[in-house]
Amino acid sequence: MTLNASVSPAPAFSSLLWNEQQIATATGISIKQVQQLARRGILPAFKLGRAWRFDPEASLYQWC
């Protein structure tokens, strides 16, 4: 079995989740509002360390 060094799952995984800035830009609201909505559970998200992470499909369907 050989490992193909040119294939890396990290870039594909990171493109699946968005941060506060990306959600704020896509929805047209401020980053603070995005964080408040995430804290209240209105905007589906989870914390990864100190940063919020969002599933763009789940998050944007609520706002469109």
pTM of the entire predicted model? 0.67
Q: How far apart are CA 25 and CA 3, in angstroms?
A: 38
pLDDT tens digits along 30-64: 999 999 999 999 999 999 999 999 987 775 566 55
| pLDDT score recorded for residue 56 | 79
Sign of CA dihedral 35, 39, 47, 56: negative
The pLDDT of residue 9 = 47
Topology adopted by domain 12-63: Arc Repressor Mutant, subunit A (1.10.10)
Query: What per-residue confidence (pLDDT) applies to 27?
Result: 87
7 or 51: whose pLDDT is higher?
A: 51
Residue 16 has a pLDDT of: 85
Give me the residue spans of the domains in the chain: 12-63
